[in-house]
Structures are given as structure tokens and as C-alpha cells.
Structure 1
Amino acid sequence: MNTLQKPRPPLKPLDDALADLLAQAQPLAETETVATFDADGRVLAQNCTSALHVPPLDNSSMDGYAVRCADVGAAGVVLAVSQRIAAGSAGEPLAPGTAARIFTGAPVPAGADAVLMQEDCEAIATAEGGVAVRINAVPQPGQWIRRAGEDIARGTVVLAAGTRLSPAELGLAASIGLHQLQVARRPRVALFSTGDELVMPGDVPPEQMPPGAIYNSNRFFLRAMLLRLGCEVTDFGIVPDRRDATIAALREASAAHDLILTSGGVSVGEEDHIKPAVESLGRLDLWQIAMKPGKPFAYGTVGQAHFMGLPGNPVSSFVTFGLLVRPFVLRLQGVSDVAPKRIAATARFDWPRADKRREFLRVRHHAEGGLELFNNQSSGVLTSAAWGDGVVDNPAGQTIAAGDTVQYIAFSELL
């Protein structure tokens, strides 16, 4: 008797898959205090509020002379130099009819309302042996003065909780006196690969590789990408293509990790044991995502740990990590804005064959402007990711002609 084959479910749109993932990514509750020096890449767990003005006092933005504008009605006025003020010192109130020699960053003395750069002034000696200055330009009130609180006002939230810290933010935190920062703890990620065909570089030289064997490249870039996102990574190596071995690895990984990340074995073939192994210990949703490269993707839970299974082809694994795993890991650390930034760019190539899936084409900036395309867009050609500097996010059913405006995502937005 003939039986009807169960129809395949429709491919899941990428945006829907990401929304479903982020709905599961509850931020980790634990935080820790780290030195500001060591906080690069970490995510703030609480607001940073300034207890002072930055700069704390009105100060000079130039080497020159602080004056009262009322004393300089015309160019050529000569004023006695009554004091010298360097950065880190404080001067006396400026006496009428005098100027103060002042240096960049030094507090502006009370009474002065402008600074003239030294190029507009001429130091001269007086008959009495003192020092005076000839002013060769007419100043405007407030000229070359940085006002107290001009950068940061006291009481301002300078950095909000959920900010992923970069060198600029570290400097900003230091500028308000913070030598330590409260940050989300690092997500703990267990990483392993599946596949009897995988060989680690160094274990077998190229000339001795057995037929059908390949070097495990995914393990290297996935670990590096996780580390860049601030994760603590436990490398479980290569798990043999046996269900008992897969179950044992998953059980061990789930005990002390927030996320288990695998590559390969998320299809439904006889040698793909991830699906039944995860289901025996928890739950699994196996998604077919409407994206190219990177259609097969799995999400589920094993014990208290999240599970994500990436496709085995290296470019598929690379792209799905950037578009799905990266936002998830950032959300675990409390980052709210996890979407990669897209910018409009000009294609310097033709892409005449539209695909039914949303495509991510590996490209790089052309020397003369715009984007050029790598000549082989296969999901197994990792050269395209090393050659390129980003991807074109091309909608399903869309062709591209040279000169068209496309949406570009830099790889720096996916790492």
C-alpha cells in the first residue's frame, strides 16, 4: 500500500528564527567586579554615573594667554603678564589690565573670559624688567575655553547597563574615576565537533591523510569567535559518530555550561546523532532556515544548558554563528541591541541568478569604491570568508546588477 510522504515544513525566515532564539536568551543573573584595565569586551551590569564634571573646571584648550575681553578693545594692546598657569595648578583671580600665561588644560583664572593662542600674541620685556604681552587679535568671549562639564555633567549616566565595552568606553569610565566595573559574568560555552571524518591539524600530516578525511577548521574559528564575545570556552574536541558517545558528551557539557555549541551532525541521516541524543536528554527544535549558506540549524536545551547545532560546512557555520549565535551570546550578557549594522553600498558585480532563500554573499571593498564578489560562493569554500571583509544581505528572489545599491554587513559586525 502506498503511503503519502509527510510534507516538509516551510523554511523558517531568518528574522523569525532570531526572534525565537532571543526570546530564550534570558540574561545571566551573576555579575562580577573587574578592573577597568581588564574590562575590554565585557558587558556592563550596572549604569556608570559620573560623580563630577568633566572637565572639572573651565580650562584652556590652547597654549596662550588668558585675558579679560574688556581689556582688549583693539589689536596691539599690551598687557602685563601677572601670572603663569600650567596644567595641574590653579591660578589667582586675574587682575584687570593684565594677562595670564596659560597652557593647554590649565584652569582659566577667575575674571578671565577668553584665551588667545600664543600665535596671536607677542611676549615682550618691560622697562622695569617684567614681562608683558602684545595682543595682536581681538578675542571673543569664551574663545578657546573648555567649560566645566562640557564633556560630562555631574550626575549624568555615562555608560548604561548592557553596554559592551570597547577601548573608548574604558577611557570614558576612567575619566569619571572608575577603576573597577561591575560586569556580567562570562558565558560558559562547551564546544565540540561531530564527525569521524574530522582530523585535527598536527595529528596527521597532509601527505598521510586517509581518503575522506578533512581537517577540522570549524573548531578553530568557532572557538576564536566565542572568545571574542567574552565567553569561557571548554573544548570537548571531536566526538565520534556514535550515539552513546554523543549522549555522554552532551550530558557532561550540560552540567557546568550555559551553552553547548556543536558543528555538524544536525541533519537527519543515519550518522547524524545530535538530534536523537539531544532529545534523549532534553528537547530539540530542528529548523530549516531560509538562508544561504546555513540552512540546517538546531536549538534546544540539555538540562539547564542551551544547545545550538550549526551546519558542518565551514562557511555555513561561520555565517550562522555571526547571525544567530553571536546575538544570542550577547543577549545572555545583557546586551539589548544585538543586531549587526547594515550600510548601503554599491555592487561592482552582477548576480543574475536569484535564489529562493535569503543570501549572504561574501564580498570585499573594491579599490575604486563599492563591493566586489568572491568568485566561488559555495558553502564549503572558507577562502571566501578570509578573502572578504563582509557580506551582502541579499533578499530572496533578488538579482543584483553592477551599480545596484545593496545592504552590506561588515565581518567586524559579526565577530
Structure 2
Amino acid sequence: MSGCDAPNLMLIEDALQHMLATVQPVEQVLHLKLQDSIGFVLAEDLLSPINVPPFANSAMDGYAIRLSDLKQSTTLPLAGKSFAGEPFDGEWPVGSCIRIMTGAKIPSGCDAVIMQENTQSNDEGVTFTQTEVRANQNIRPIGDDIKQHDLVLSKGSRLTARDVPMIATLGISHVNVYRKPKVAFFSTGDELKPLGQPLQDGQIYDSNRYGIKPLIEKFGCEAIDLGIIPDCPETLKSAFQKAQAEADVVVTSGGVSVGEADYTKDILDEIGEIGFWKLAIKPGKPFAFGKLSDALFCGLPGNPVSAFITLYVLVQPLLAKLSGHSQWQAEPMIPAVTKQGFRKSPGRTDYQRGVYSIENGQFTVESTGNQSSGAFRSMSLANCFVVLEKDRGHVQAGDTVQIQLFNSALY
């Protein structure tokens, strides 16, 4: 039996179910200024205190008219002006019109606004050249966008740059949000070298932390970088204790395989407990999950692509639940036709890196090339995952596969 088919490999679906059942969302609520709230999760439903717009206003630069006046004459004298912030508040004589600008308050009695392109000014006033004028034409009614007491955002929504301007239109200056979870992370391995230093024989640069940190932040969490920890049991144990003292979740890369110097599993047995170790996923089989005394633990594989994909596929939904982001959902699978073959052995769900395009309304996909778990260029070139089912074998050109487009965390 091959390693891929080993019966002790947990299915991805079972692993996610176990992880999410372990998580309790953070409860601490912060009262933040609106401009500081992007990326935080709402701790309560947000209801509109006002109508938006709060008054009927003009959608065009033009002229406010009464339909009854326009039936009597297509030329009306000008009675006044209504500007944004300076509404017309005088007497509006019968048989006249009012100059009005976009966003200005609609004068009482106005039936329609005729855009200035459909008018001509002359000594007698304004001549209207539009032949058919509808009631309420170019008028935005009160509450046209949002009505008072409407639910505008639900508890558990993560605030984005699209949400904050909308909240500002309601006059809301502060919002109640959950604090961001803290995630401490470090890399393990004597072979790892910091950037900017020359490599010695057998050494490589530590690239994983440069993928882990931005993803953690894109997931809406506070990232705490503890650097590179050497393969020393005492030093590693101290790093775990420091990490769990500062964070809700501890994420490591490396040290969860079966090598002689992979001490993470042994230390977890000593100061915590392992929920599972080894999954039916490729790349990323040696992924571990468990608990420390004061934090959750996610052990990513050391290979760069494996670490990145398991963080995205497995840790992202865990952190979403921890942050209270109840609206989070994984991107859906989409059928796509392959432009080339994909190599695949049955036994694990395979996340290969691909480039999709749309041709004649049909999704198509091709490989980014080298699919090795150590070849990160395949991630850099990709815009989707080609998700090949656990029991599937090789894929031929022209076959249909499932692809998963990247979400905003990868852009």
C-alpha cells in the first residue's frame, strides 16, 4: 500500500469539521471609530438610524416642474434655484419652473425634473423640448437607497472598503466590533536562513513566514512574527510557551513530518494535545492540529507550497470562525475543461495550481507547470486551484475538472 493510500490519513472534510468544532469565537468587543474599523467583524446587527437620502432630491442638473404647468405651456419662467445644501424655500408661483442641481432637495409640489439637455433658455424663461415627461422623472425619493431601520449589515460581517462609506452615509461615527484574533507564528529548522544573508552549504532562505504573515492579516487577524526557531527541543518548547502567552492561535511551519529532528509533535504531546496529524491532501499531508494549554495549534508542513495551501484551505476557515466572521464562505467549485493533462495518483485530494480563462462562455484551465510542493513559482503564476478528487487518477486534456478561484486573500 502506498503512503498516499495509508488508512490513517484523515479526510479534509473531517479535519475541517473537527477544527471548527474546537473553536469558540472571540467575545471581546471594541468600540471603534468608523475609519479604523476596516477588517474588523461586526459584533451586532447594524440598523439604519435614518432614511438615505433623507429628502427627495434631483438625480440630474435641470429644472423642477409641475406636470400641470407643463400641460399649459412648454415655456415656463424661472422662479428660483435649488442647489445642494441650499434648497429653494420661497413661494413657487403657478406656471413657473425652478433651476435645480444634482443632489438638491426637490421643491414641494414638484412632479418631475427635466434634464437641462432637454431645455432651451430664452428671454421668456425655459422652453422644454422633451415630448413625454413621466411623473417623478429624475427624482430620487426619500429612502431610495436605505430606509430607516433597515438592516444594512448583519452581525458577523467583516467590514470592507465597500462597507465603510455606506455606513458613513448613515451618520454613524463608531461601530462595535470583535477584537481581531492574535496569531503567533514561527518557522522551524536549522537549514533556514534569514533574507539578506549568504547561504551556506545545505541552507535555504526562510520564505514561509513571508507568505504566512500577509495571509493571516488578510484573514482579519493580528500576526505576531516570532522568527526562525532552530531544531532544539528546549528552544522550541520556549518558543511555544512564548507564542501561546501572546496569541489565540500558534502556527508553525516545519517540524511536523517524520524526520529525526522534527520535534514539534513531541513537544505538543508534552505541553498540549494533538487532535490529528496527517491528512489526505496534496500537497500538505503532514498538517497537524491540536491544543496548547492557552491557544490552538496549527502545524503547517515545511515545504513552501504545502504550508501556503494548508494555511489557505484549513486555517483560513478556522480563523474566520474564531474572529466571529460568520458570513465567511469558501469559494465555490466551478467545472472547467482542461487544456492539457494533469498527473494525479488516487489517495489524496490534490490542489494543483492552475490558470483559468473563459472561452466561448466556458471555463478552461491549464497547469502552471511544476507542481512540486517546493516549487512556489507555481503559486505565483496561478489564479485558481485545480481540485482533483481523492480517488481520481490522471486527467487527460479535454476532461472536466473542478477549479476554485482564489478569494481576495490571495490578491
TM score, norm. by length of structure 1: 0.90
CA distance in 2 between partners of 1:342 and 1:224 (Å): 23
* Match among 315, 325, 338 for residue 335 of structure 1: 325
- The 5 A counterparts of 1:110-121 are 110-121=108-119
Secondary structure at the aligned position of 2:38 is classed as coil
Aligned to 1:46: 44
2:144 corresponding residue in structure 1: 150
Which amino acid in the other structure matches residue 220 of structure 1?
Y
Structure 1 residues 367 and 136, CA gap change in structure 2 (3 angstroms): closer
Q: 1:391 and 2:385 equivalent?
A: yes
SS at 2:217's partner residue?
helix
**Per-residue deviation, residues 296-355 of structure 1 (Å, max 9, x unmatched):** 111111112111101111111111111111111121110113332225353342235443
Matched residue type, 2:122: I
For 1:135 and 1:323, how far apart are their aligned partners in 2? 61
- Structure 2: 5+ residue stretches without partners: none
**Structure 1 unaligned runs (5+)?**
1-6
Residues 102, 118 of structure 1: alpha-carbon distance in 2 compared, 3 angstrom cutoff: same
Residue from 19, 22, 37 that aligns with 1:21: 19
Q: Does 1:326 align with 2:316?
A: yes
Amino acid at match of 2:313: L
1-side partners of 2:82 and 2:318: how far apart? Answer: 53
Q: Are positions 1:411 and 2:406 aligned together?
A: yes
In 1, Cα distance between equivalents of 2:185 and 2:257: 18
2:59 equivalent among 53, 61, 66: 61
Q: How does 1:98-113 map to 2 (within 5 A)?
A: 98-113=96-111
Say which of 188, 198, 203 aligns to 2:192. Answer: 198
Instruction: Give the residue type in structure 2 aligned to 1:22.
Output: L
Alpha-carbon distance in 2 for matches of 1:407, 1:101: 58
Give distance in 2, aligned partners of 1:197 and 1:87. Answer: 66
Which residue, out of 180, 196, 199, partners 1:186? Answer: 180
User: Structure 1 residues 119 and 248, CA, compared in 2 at 3 Å: closer, same or farther?
Assistant: same
- What CA distance in whole angstroms lies between the structure 2 residues aligned with 1:193 and 1:310? 9
Change (3 A) 1:276 1:151: same
Residue aligned with 1:66, SS: strand
Once the two structures are TM-superposed, the CA of residue 110 in structure 1 deviates from its matched residue by 1.2
Q: How many residues are treated as equivalent by the alignment?
A: 400
The residue aligned with 2:208 is 218
1:284 to 264, 274, 291: 274
Instruction: Report the AA paired with residue 273 of structure 1.
Output: Y
SS at match of 1:167: coil
1:260 to 250, 253, 258: 250
* AA at the equivalent of 1:412: N
Q: Contact conserved, 2:342 with 2:367, CA < 8 A, in 1? A: no
Percent of residue pairs identical: 37
CA offset at residue 146 of structure 1? 1.0
Distance 2:41 2:191 in 1: 38
Distance 2:207 2:66 in 1: 69
Residues 53-97 of structure 1 deviation map (CA, whole Å, 9 limit, x = unaligned): 0011111111111112233349x7111221211111222464432
Q: How has the CA–CA distance of structure 1 residues 96 and 70 changed in structure 2, closer, same or farther, with 3 Å as cutoff?
A: same
1:81 to 70, 78, 82: 78
- Contact 1:52/1:154 (<8 A) preserved: yes
- Asked if structure 1 preserves the Cα contact closer than 8 Å seen for 2:186 and 2:227, the reply is yes
What is aligned with 2:87? 90
Task: Classify 1:352/1:29 alpha carbon distance in 2 versus 1 (closer, same or farther; 3 Å).
Answer: closer
| Distance of aligned partners of 1:42 and 1:404 in 2 relative to their CA distance in 1, 3 Å threshold | farther
Change (3 A) 1:136 1:8: closer
Match of 1:3 in 2: none
Give SS of 1:347's match: strand
Alpha carbons 1:72, 1:135 under 8 Å: kept:
no
Conserved in 1, the CA contact under 8 Å of 2:220 and 2:323?
no
Query: Residue 37 of structure 1 aligns with which residue?
Result: 35
TM, length-normalised to structure 2: 0.91
More displaced stretch, 55-64 vs 345-354: 345-354
- Change in Cα spacing, 1:404 to 1:104, as seen in structure 2 (3 Å) is farther
Q: Deviations over 1:351-373 (max 9, x none)?
A: 35443221212112449673331
Shift in Å at residue 229 of structure 1? 2.5
Does the alignment pair 1:229 with 2:219? Answer: yes
**Partner letter of residue 223 of structure 2?**
V
Hey, what's the Cα distance between the residues in 1 that align with 2:384 and 2:151? 34
1:344/1:407 contact within 8 Å kept: yes
> SS of the residue aligned with 1:296?
coil
Local SS of the residue matching 1:15: helix
After superposition, the CA RMSD in angstroms is 2.1
Inter-partner Cα distance in structure 2 for 1:400 and 1:171: 47
User: Which of 355, 364, 375 is 2:355 aligned to?
Assistant: 364
Shift of 1:171: 0.8
Aligned to 1:4: none
Shift of 1:404: 4.7
Structure 2 distance, partners of 1:135, 1:115, is 13
The answer on whether the counterparts of 1:78 and 1:135 sit within 8 Å (CA) in structure 2 is: no
